[in-house]
Structure 1
Amino acid sequence: MTQLLVGLVQTENEAIIMLNKLKEAGLEAEAMGIVAKEHLDLDLISEKVGLDKPLKGAGTDGAFGVFKGVLAALGKRMDQTISAGKAVRRLAGNEIGGETDDLVLTLAEAGIAEEDAQYYEQWLLQDHFLIVVECSEEDAAHIAPIVKGEDA
């Protein structure tokens, strides 16, 4: 059975360190990813650890993206997520903050407890990062300490 583990890091450097430790532990790049608020730049992180190019989600590019940018500047649009890595593709473009429960529902559908999902949303709103790992129950035993930051 597949397990979903979520790690919390505050900085780009912490994210790079955790993702590299996960790779050193034998985790494939396809099994991990990173999520942040849309305005944060995940390009450097994804490049340094070998993740897919960051995704902003549907509708964030082109003419509609410009319109969404104008709405954001006017305070009419919620923040959105950006993600890098195959394990977190569905998390790109989720709205966070305010009255929305977009991210919380997506995480709950993936098996995350709603209370935890709400906490993760608040973490992202503080301009921090989520590291998400999809692994087997067997791998979870040795991966969990890294994701929880207990391996130091």
Structure 2
Amino acid sequence: MTQLLVGLVRTENEAIVMLGKLKEEGLEADSLGVVAKEHLDLDLISEKAGLAKPLKGAGTDGAFGVFKGVLAALGKRMDQTISAGKVVRRLAGNEIGGETDDLVLTLAEAGVAEEDAQYYEQWLLQDHLLVVVECKEDDAARIAPIVKGKDS
């Protein structure tokens, strides 16, 4: 059985360092991911950590992307998430903040407690990042200190 662990980092550099430590522990890139608010640039993180290219939500490019950009400028559109890594594909394009519960519901479907999911949403709204790890239950105890930032 797999387990989902979520690490909280404030900067892109912290995410790169955490992902590097996780890879040193033998985790494959396919089991790692990063989630942030849409306007942050995850390209450097995905490149340095060997993750799949960042994904935005459906309709954030092309004509709809322009329309969403106009709505955002007018304060009419919620923030959305962007994700890098296969394990977090479903988290790309989730609306966060305001009256929406998109991200919270998606995380809850993945087995994250609703209270934790709400905290993660607030973390993202502060322009911070989530590092997400999918690991075997047997590996969780070994990986958790890295994800929780207690490995130093």
Instruction: State the partner residue of 1:4.
Output: 4
Q: After the TM superposition, which parts of structure 1 deviate over 2 Å for at least 4 consecutive aligned residues?
A: none
* Correspondence 1:1-150 to 2 at 5 A: 1-150=1-150
Unaligned runs of 5+ in 2: none
The alpha-carbon deviation at position 124 of structure 1 amounts to 0.1
How many Å separate the matches in 2 of 1:48 and 1:136? 24
How many Å separate the matches in 1 of 2:49 and 2:4? 20
How many Å separate the matches in 1 of 2:90 and 2:74? 27
Q: Render the CA deviation track for 1:76-101: whole Å, top value 9, x for unaligned.
A: 00000000000000000000000000
RMSD, aligned CA: 0.4
How many Å separate the matches in 2 of 1:139 and 1:28? 13
Unaligned runs of 5+ in 1: none
Q: Render the CA deviation track for 1:48-103: whole Å, top value 9, x for unaligned.
A: 11001000011111101110010000000000000000000000000000000000
**Equivalent pairs, count:** 152
